Structure 1
Amino acid sequence: MSDPAARPLTPPAKVAVIGLGNMGRPMAACLAKAGYDVRGYDSAPAMRERFAQETGRTAADSLEAAVDGAKAVVTILPNGKVVAAVVAAMTPHLSPGAIIVEMSSSEPMATRRLGEAMAEKGFGFVDAPVSGGVRRAIDGSLAIMAGGDAATLDIVEPLLKAMGRAIFRTGALGSGHAVKALNNYVSGAGLVAALEAVSVGKAFGLDPDMLVDVLNASTGKNNSTEVKLKQFVLSEAYNSGFFIGLMAKDIRTAQHLAEELGVATPLGGRCADLWDEAARTLGDLADHTEINRFLTQDTA
């Protein structure tokens, strides 16, 4: 665990960002813009090249080089299994007292176990998954759900503020990932409900745009009716920037958490099954709003 007397991590401290995908690249760019000495790394050469093009900074050519001397290491990776493998590989190369800021969408219980193991080795660990998508990653306005030791969160808070506008301290280690998974469950269930309502309305002869306007002025309003239906579904653009495989994973994570805790979630189980099937049918890299094509059987 980090020294409680340590000062907040402010620029120009060295920060490694591991994972330079659609979210990791703009998040790293925000850190660089804030004045941090950012060292980005991704196992895919193409992602390292895009990072260099978009930020003007050279990506590290190895995980070891990226984390060498870093005060904090941000991980933004596909899933918890990848996170665990990367953390194991980089641990021998971490600076004493370095803090891992785990910003992927991972299993809360697994995150807690990993963080506790790293604390025993003298490293700080917080989970800080995000919500807001690529657009808000670019402008640094993400919502960040941060779990972990309060003293460690105090140290990394300036770093988090460089990437997010709303920082929520959610509680003990793993709680950030729990909140993220539950949020995406609610988001995914709301999107399916809204899409089904539009399909029924169209079959009845209702104008979809009018129906969405009514929903947004009434009690049916949710994030999907406000920022997804007209923009990505009715327009058939299907380019929100968030993959269906990731949404399905997050919803399944919420369901696994419920099962581990012994909490009955009948709607959650059905919702997780639906999103899993949609991801299998459309492919993990389809935009998550394309679940409308699955629901309407427009999958050609």
Structure 2
Amino acid sequence: MSQSAAITPPARIAVIGLGNMGRPMSACLARAGYHVVGFDISAEARSAYAEAGGTAASTASDAVAGAAAVVTLLGDGKIVRSAIEGVKAHLAPGAVVIDMSSSAPIGTRALGEELIAAGFGFIDAPVSGGVKRAVDGTLAIMAGGDGATIDRAEPVLKAMGKSIFRTGPLGSGHAAKALNNYVSAAGLAAAVEALAIGGRFGIEPEVLVDVLNASTGRNNSTENKLKQFVIPEKYTSGFSLALMAKDIGTADELAHDIGVSAPLADQVTALWSAAMQALGPGADHVEIGRYLTAKR
């Protein structure tokens, strides 16, 4: 395949990271006709992937060998760098690395520049939409990097997402993802506080949610989280509080790194970090409702 050609089926795609998002996103790629080979450091995750019908490699190096694109879905940018450095010698000439993890933008830019200098392609393309939209291939994807490289990777991205946003230079996808989650987290915290205040004054939570959703206070959390998870105390949204806190911190750190004053981001970061410490890393992010209610 030419280094300028679009990566289309049945090209080989390596997926590094077979967690809650990696498994369904791999399945979307396979349904689109790609030859997908997955790898995870967890033997249990590899076994589960294989049992579900996927092709699992025993090592990351085996997974990336001959792959036109390598998709990373890992915990953070430091893990991504370690994984890519470990397989760099085994990457096919001109292969495109697509980091779909939630990584720190400045670290992403540094890693991408190194890979590009070595003759590989690189874009950052984190996602929004959660496991449900990963399963049905309707994720929102924020792609940062060179336009020609995004052009090559676009068929791969379209197999997993419904909306592809070209956000700008390297690292901008990860910046957009972190900023999106910061705004989402701020909205959720504000909505939960509003329910607590309204409840103390005698307004039924469901009634206040209806008011918000018919008014200017409407946001993703009022529509999709309050009645579904927070009010019935069913904390099963599938996205962890620890990951949300990490993404908010990434947005706040970026603001400080580039000299932008963000006092609200500072406070939201502190709030979610305190919630994570109090509830533990295994808590679902909608448990911020439980944390804030307990503090009343």
TM-score range, shorter-chain basis?
Answer: over 0.9
How do 1:157-168 residues align onto structure 2 when only pairs under 5 Å count? Answer: 157-168=154-165
Deviations 1:151-206 (A, max 9, x none): 11000100000000000000111100010000000000000000000011111111
TM-score, normalized by length of structure 1? Answer: 0.96
Is 1:8 paired with 2:6? yes
Distance 1:52 1:274 in 2: 40
2:193 to 196, 201, 204: 196
Cα displacement (A) at 1:50? 1.8
Cα displacement (A) at 1:123? 0.5
> Equivalent residue for 1:80?
77
Cα displacement (A) at 1:58? 2.9
> Equivalent residue for 1:30?
28
> Equivalent residue for 2:134?
137
2:259 to 259, 262, 265: 262
Distance 2:281 2:51 in 1: 27
Deviations 1:65-118 (A, max 9, x none): 100110000000000110010011010111111110000001101100000001
Is 1:118 paired with 2:115? yes
1:183 to 180, 204, 213: 180
Distance 1:57 1:245 in 2: 28
Runs ≥4 residues deviating over 6 A: none
1:290 to 287, 292, 295: 287
Distance 1:202 1:284 in 2: 29
Please, which runs of 5 or more residues in structure 2 have no aligned partner? none
2:229 to 229, 232, 241: 232
2:47 to 40, 46, 49: 49
> Equivalent residue for 1:171?
168
Deviations 1:19-66 (A, max 9, x none): 000001100010011110000000001111221233x12311111110
Cα displacement (A) at 1:124? 0.3
Query: One-letter code of the match for 2:46?
Result: R
Deviations 1:120-174 (A, max 9, x none): 1101000000000000000000000000011110001000000000000001111
> Equivalent residue for 1:21?
19
Residue 191 of structure 1 aligns to a residue in which SS? helix
Cα displacement (A) at 1:285? 1.9
Residue 217 of structure 2 aligns to a residue in which SS? coil
Distance 1:61 1:204 in 2: 59
Deviations 1:212-246 (A, max 9, x none): 00000000000000000000111211111000000
Q: State percent identity of aligned pairs.
A: 60
Distance 1:75 1:162 in 2: 15
User: Is contact 2:140-2:162 (8 Å) kept?
Assistant: yes
